[in-house]
Structure 1
Amino acid sequence: MVKILFNIVRNQQQILCAAYSGNRVHWHCTDDTSTTCVPCPSLTFTDEPNGLTECFPCTVCDASRGLRVNKVCTRSSDTVCGPLERFYCIEKKKDCCTLAVQHSECSPGQYIKQAGTGSTDTVCAECTGDTYSNGSFSSCLPHTKCEALGFTETNPGTHSSDTKCGNPSTAVAIVASSIIVALIIILVIFFFIFKHIRKKKQSKSSGKCYSVIFSMRSIVVFFYNGIFYENSTINSGWVTFIIIHIHYILLHLNRFIIIINVDYSCAA
């Protein structure tokens, strides 16, 4: 009877020792001594009552398994691991992730319909219509309209790439060359007019005067039409703006030359 009572007391001491998580048994009770309990050392734990003489080692979150620490280990709880950034968990033990894999990447021509989380993979969907995505967009983007920007389309857009637009240097080169030609023609005209004025300074022939005027108007109109025809295929507002102003300048130069011609070649 006494032995039974002693065993009951010893068991109660052991239970009391293990009543709190985070402890372990240091000395088991004997006939003369009670059970001695001590806290778990660093990097070990017990998370429930026990009669163990050793605490459990804390779990290590292995990055090679796609894991990181979500909650650090304490004397009374194990480490809680979670998936790395851009990973999701595929194996779990209680609340701890034990294996994670990387989120799927959408291919060019697809967009991210639903971003991946710590527990779900990425969901991709195909682009449709006149749109594209390189695989990293959350939605498909419309293709660039080159004409609206004053450029020319060099490569049409696909579901995986945008439209390729031509360099505006082509249009600039055409306009620049036209301006240079215009200046050269104007200088040549000035040269011949003043040469004609010096030779015919004393002439009062109105027929020659109007002949020069008619020639000037013909050159201006012909030159303007040539520029406009060359650039008629360029769908650009600013190019048209430049051409119109070239026309305006040439017409005013024409009037200026006519005045000079009237003053010096057609004067009474």
Structure 2
Amino acid sequence: MFSMLVVLVGVSLFEPASTCRHKEYPTSDGQCCPMCQEGTVVARDCTAESGTRCVPCETGTYMNQPNGLKKCLSCATCDPGLGLFAKQNCKSTSDTVCDVLSGFFCKSLTDSTGCSTAERHSVCKPGERIKQPGTSRHDTVCEACQQGSFSPNGVNCTLWTKCSENQTPVQDGSLTADVVCSSGSPRYRYFLSLPFVCFLILCLVLSTTNLWVCDLNNC
């Protein structure tokens, strides 16, 4: 019985700790050392004579929580070529926060780093209109023009022109082009030209008659 007790005590003395306490981290040799604070990382693990040695994060890096790491995290970059700009610059204790430039919307948004992926707003096609303009969080919404209207540039739909009583359509309207009206009615031109034609016929008859009368009189 006594020998069993000795064995159990021996096992408990030499068994390594399964977990470290709150705000401690395990080292490679099985010790538990105090964590470094935000904005710093471990330069040297603790020893029996001294605590953990911490060093600040260098420019371009950060650490946003207590840790036992040897390297700080790299700051995110907001690439203008991808539609992003730095809404909040990187600090030793927090990462860069990105947002989108005008004309772009965010496709991937996180609380810690803001927008990580952006895309340019869609452009509506001719024959469509902008139903909802794009925002920093949503893309442009387009819809087709209704029958009887057109949009040559994909912005707004405009009703087709109605030709007046003195005009006639020479080109039908479409989703991308307006109705084209003639400058005057063919009927109006017909009635306008009829008296002129009659006048020419009358002149021709009179001229022929005069020649015939003159021939009889030996003019």
TM-score in terms of structure 1 length: 0.48
In structure 1, distance between residues paired with 2:95 and 2:105 = 21
Secondary structure, aligned partner of 1:33: coil
Q: Hey, what does 2:27 align to over in structure 1?
A: none
Q: Hey, what does 2:90 align to over in structure 1?
A: 73
Q: Tell me if 1:102 matches 2:112.
A: no
Identity value in percent: 35
Q: Hey, what does 1:217 align to over in structure 2?
A: none
Q: Hey, what does 1:130 align to over in structure 2?
A: 148
- 2:99 maps to which of 73, 82, 85: 82
Q: How does 1:1-268 map to 2 (within 5 A)?
A: 11=24, 14-15=34-35, 17-18=36-37, 21-63=38-80, 65-95=82-112, 96-137=114-155, 139-144=156-161, 147=164, 155-164=171-180, 229=192
TM-aligned CA distance change 1:75 to 1:160, over 3 Å: same
Secondary structure, aligned partner of 2:142: strand
Q: CA deviation at 1:135?
A: 4.2
Q: CA deviation at 1:118?
A: 2.7
Contact 1:40–1:46 (8 Å) recurs in 2? yes
Q: CA deviation at 1:64?
A: 5.0
TM-aligned CA distance change 1:141 to 1:51, over 3 Å: same
The one-character-per-residue Cα deviations of 1:207-243 (angstroms, maximum 9, x if unpaired) are xxxxxxxxxxxxxxxxxxxxx947xxxxxxxxxxxxx
Q: CA deviation at 1:113?
A: 0.7
* Amino acid aligned to 1:132: F
* Amino acid aligned to 2:102: E
How many residues end up aligned between the 2 structures? 161
In structure 2, distance between residues paired with 1:113 and 1:25 = 55
Which structure shows the bigger proportion of residues in strand conformation?
2
The one-character-per-residue Cα deviations of 1:176-220 (angstroms, maximum 9, x if unpaired) are xxxxxxxxxxxxxxxxxxxxxxxxxxxxxxxxxxxxxxxxxxxxx
Runs (5+) with no aligned partner, structure 1: 171-227, 231-268
TM-aligned CA distance change 1:144 to 1:70, over 3 Å: farther
Q: CA deviation at 1:82?
A: 3.0
Which structure shows the bigger proportion of residues in helix conformation?
1
Q: CA deviation at 1:56?
A: 0.6
In structure 2, distance between residues paired with 1:88 and 1:22 = 32
In structure 2, distance between residues paired with 1:163 and 1:46 = 65
TM-aligned CA distance change 1:54 to 1:163, over 3 Å: same
Q: CA deviation at 1:54?
A: 1.8
The root-mean-square deviation of aligned C-alpha atoms, in Å, is 3.8
Q: CA deviation at 1:41?
A: 1.6
Q: CA deviation at 1:58?
A: 0.2
The one-character-per-residue Cα deviations of 1:229-262 (angstroms, maximum 9, x if unpaired) are 47xxxxxxxxxxxxxxxxxxxxxxxxxxxxxxxx
Secondary structure, aligned partner of 2:143: strand
Q: CA deviation at 1:119?
A: 2.8
* Amino acid aligned to 1:78: D
TM-score in terms of structure 2 length: 0.57
Q: Hey, what does 2:200 align to over in structure 1?
A: none
Secondary structure, aligned partner of 2:146: coil
Q: CA deviation at 1:140?
A: 1.6
